[in-house]
Amino acid sequence: MSTAAIMKPSRRKGPISFLTLLGWSTSILFFLPIAWIIGTALKPKTTVLDIPPKFFFIPTFQNLLDAVNFANTLSYFVHSAIYSFASVFLAIFVAFLASYSFSRFKPAGTDFIMFLLLSTRFVPAAAFVIPFFQLFNILQLKDSFLGLIIFYTMFSIPFSVWILKGFMDGVSTKFDETGMVYGASRAHIMFKVILPQVRAGLVAAFVFNIIFVWNEFLFNFQLGGLKTYGIPVGLFTSITKGGQVDWSFVASIGTLYVMPLALVIYFFQKYLLVGLTFGTVRGEV
Amino acid sequence: MSWILLIPVLVFFALMNILPTIWMLGLSFYNYTLTSANGATFTGFSNYLDFVKNQQLSQSVSRTFVFLLIAIICQTFLGILIGVLFWKNDKMPGRRFALTLFFTPMVVTPIATALFWKLILDPTFGVMNYFLTSLGLSKIDFLTDSNLAFPTLIVVDTWMWTPFMALMTLAALGSVPKAELEAASVDKLPIHRQITTVIWPHAKFILMLGILLRSIDAFKTMDLTYIMTNGGPGDRTELIALSLYRFAFKSFKLGYASAVSVFLLFIAIALTAIYLHVLNARKKAEAQG
């Protein structure tokens, strides 16, 4: 940075306002527990359980490296990535077709199907674990990526349909009509005309479904196995590794898990609202 | 054409929702314990009757409602305060970064949240107890004290979900038309009149949707209690979803657990109906301008 840039008057006028101070303090207060975990991961292993706790120390990356090199850590991340990306891609494709139909043709029962789809996301996971557990045993889908991908595709469809239908309703049917007049095929209209206009919806659906699937624990734990366990199961088992709890290890896995998530929130902040309301609310933050 | 496009969704839906639901309904009429040598025997409504009579279970249902009510009141109150703070502060330096820090707790999987707080609240080497002792207070075992475990759970849940209610508050305030706000301030309307006549009529819908979503989610709470307290001490923090999980995977009473699942399914459908009712009310209000 040049001196000129430093000398430039900053955008704020006068001292930092009280409200700014309050806003920042609130944010830092809420982040403190996570910061403590990251700090624990960066502490030399021997000082982790010290009383009084060490607030100042020379950070080390040894714990993080140890965690990465530990038996299954990388495989948890790889497994999570495989089934999350595959199922979310599939879900968005399927949801795109369905939401185009719901938005443009409004077949009888549209509202009812949309209602049922949303309700499936509102049932406690534990309620559905038994039938899935038995079905997966019968169909021999346990501990297979195929099984998990099918399951998580359904898991991601309701939100994708809701969000994409919302965005498509906002695109005028004039586009479809003009396309028809020029003799374009339905597929051409859907993928070349409408799709680019709902790009924001696609991004939001993609990012938030990945987070939901990435974070899902119960079904991965019950329907998966050593070949398919993802990162939440990795976190869950980190506390039971060996006899005594190795907090450096737990904190390191936690840090590796939490950092990409924080980055996603930074870069996709404007989609946060629509993401966390399953596509039912849109607005500015 | 319209139905061809729907086939993939309907196939997934039939396979992954209708089939398991029918399975669950069927199973709920059977006495079926995985570990017992006897196969499944049809018992009619006896699982449901047992469920109604089971004190432990009705306790965990009412405990879930108490948890939901207190947690959501705290989160809504704090969320509105913080939401208004960031709304007033729309030009604050580093706002996006600050909001990232603030919003992160709600996207962390409850498994990780539970682990993090276990470390922080640990009675011997947790940093929280260090602060307590350095203030001259005695150590507290937050997660195993029978009077404190439940309030601690509520505090952790509030930490996780206050950002969500603040986000909904921001969205709710954002849904108030700027022109109306400006008109109100030009007219020098007193602040409480601004809130009741300008802000509330627009903001109430999104705020209510937020509260409803939180209720639905709080009702589903399981991972957090599973790791943090495992329902203990005793059954002090055992919420309904965890009880259900235990029936299924600790005592293997699948028929009985299915009956409980059907009950939860009906609650979820009812909550969805209420949710969509508010959503439609908002659309109507917007259409009328």
Q: Does B45 score more than 60 pLDDT?
A: yes
> Which residues on B lie below 8 Å from A27 (Cβ)?
98-99, 101-102
Q: Does A9 score more than 70 pLDDT?
A: no
Residue A228 lies in a domain: yes
Q: Is B96 at the interface with chain A, CB within 8 A?
A: yes
Q: Which of B93, B109, B268 sits opposite A217 (nearest CB)?
A: B109
What pLDDT score does A213 carry? 96
B276:A115 CB<8 A: yes
Task: Please name which of A191, A243, A235 lies closest in space to residue A216, comparing C-alpha atoms.
Answer: A235
Q: Does A14 score more than 60 pLDDT?
A: no
Residue A155 lies in a domain: yes
CA angle (B20, B24, B26) in 5-degree steps: 115
Q: Which of A106, A150, A273 sits opposite B16 (nearest CB)?
A: A150
Two structure tokens written together for A56: 């100042």
d(CA B32, CA B41): 7
Nearest-neighbour CA in chain A from B186: distance (Å):
23
CB B236 within 8 A of CB B252: no
d(CA A19, CA A56): 29
What pLDDT score does A285 carry? 62
CB A227 within 8 A of CB A220: no
Q: Is B241 at the interface with chain A, CB within 8 A?
A: yes
Q: How many cross-chain Cβ pairs, A to B, lie less than 8 Å apart?
A: 283
Two structure tokens written together for B225: 């209690």
Task: For A59-74, write each residue's pLDDT tens digit.
Answer: 999 999 999 888 788 9
What pLDDT score does A1 carry? 39
CB B44 within 8 A of CB B198: no
Task: Locate the domains of chain B by residue range.
Answer: 46-287
Mean pLDDT, rounded, for B127-151:
91
Q: What is the mean pLDDT of chain B?
A: 91
Fold of B46-287: MetI-like fold (1.10.3720)
Q: Which of A17, A105, A132 sits opposite B20 (nearest CB)?
A: A132
* CATH code of residue A221: 1.10.3720.10
What pLDDT score does A229 carry? 96
Task: For A168-177, write each residue's pLDDT tens digit.
Answer: 998 999 999 9
Mean pLDDT, rounded, for B225-241:
91
d(CA B219, CA B211): 12
Nearest chain A residue (CA) to B97: A266
Mean pLDDT, rounded, for A193-217:
94
Q: Does B209 score more than 80 pLDDT?
A: yes
Q: Which of A34, A100, A214 sits opposite B104 (nearest CB)?
A: A34
Q: Which of A101, A122, A153 sits opposite B268 (nearest CB)?
A: A122
* pTM for the model: 0.90
What pLDDT score does A13 carry? 53
Residue A108 lies in a domain: yes
Task: Please name which of B85, B234, B45 lies closest in space to residue B147, comparing C-alpha atoms.
Answer: B234
Residues 6 or more apart whose CB falls under 8 angstroms from that of A51 comprise: B124, B125, B130
* Residue B61 C-beta-side C-alpha neighbours within 13 Å: 13
**What is the number of other CB atoms lying within 10 angstroms of the CB of residue B204?**
16
Q: Which of A124, A150, A283 sits opposite B219 (nearest CB)?
A: A124
Q: What are phi and psi of B33, to 5 degrees?
A: -115, 125
In terms of residue numbers, what domain contains A272? 73-242+264-276
What pLDDT score does B289 carry? 62
B20:A131 CB<8 A: yes
Mean pLDDT, rounded, for B202-223:
91
Q: Does A15 score more than 80 pLDDT?
A: no
B269:A119 CB<8 A: yes
Task: Give contacts of B 102-141 with A, CB under 8 A.
Answer: 102-112, 115-120, 124-125, 127, 130, 134
Task: Please name which of A158, A282, A234, A269 lies closest in space to residue B107, comparing C-alpha atoms.
Answer: A269
**What is the number of other CB atoms lying within 10 angstroms of the CB of residue B182?**
10
Nearest-neighbour CA in chain A from B200: distance (Å):
16
* Residue bearing tokens 């109604």: B52
Confidence grade of residue A17 (pLDDT, cut at 50, 70, 90): confident
Peptide bond into B233 cis (omega under 30): yes
What pLDDT score does A260 carry? 92
Q: Is B2 at the interface with chain A, CB within 8 A?
A: yes
Total domains in the fold of chain A: 1
ipTM of the complex in this document: 0.91
> Which residues on B lie below 8 Å from A212 (Cβ)?
none
Residue A253 lies in a domain: no
Task: For A116-159, write each residue's pLDDT tens digit.
Answer: 998 888 888 888 888 999 899 999 999 999 999 999 999 999 99
Two structure tokens written together for B278: 């508010």
Alpha carbon A187 to its chain's center:
30
d(CA A92, CA A156): 8
Mean pLDDT, rounded, for B249-256:
86
Nearest chain B residue (CA) to A124: B220
Confidence grade of residue B84 (pLDDT, cut at 50, 70, 90): very high
Mean pLDDT, rounded, for B211-215:
92
Task: Please name which of B209, B10, B268 lies closest in space to residue A120, comparing C-alpha atoms.
Answer: B268
Nearest-neighbour CA in chain A from B193: distance (Å):
23
Nearest-neighbour CA in chain B from A176: distance (Å):
14
Mean pLDDT, rounded, for A176-182:
93
Give the dihedral sign, CA A188/A194/A199/A201.
Answer: negative
Task: For A221-267, write each residue's pLDDT tens digit.
Answer: 999 999 999 999 999 988 876 667 888 999 999 999 999 999 999 99
Task: For A23-77, write each residue's pLDDT tens digit.
Answer: 999 999 999 999 999 999 999 988 888 878 888 888 999 999 999 888 788 999 9
Mean pLDDT, rounded, for B156-170:
96
Mutation target for B interface from A17, A37, A38, A123: give the one with most B CBs within 10 A.
A123
Q: What are phi and psi of A224, to 5 degrees?
A: -90, -170
> Which residues on B lie below 8 Å from A232 (Cβ)?
109, 111-112, 223
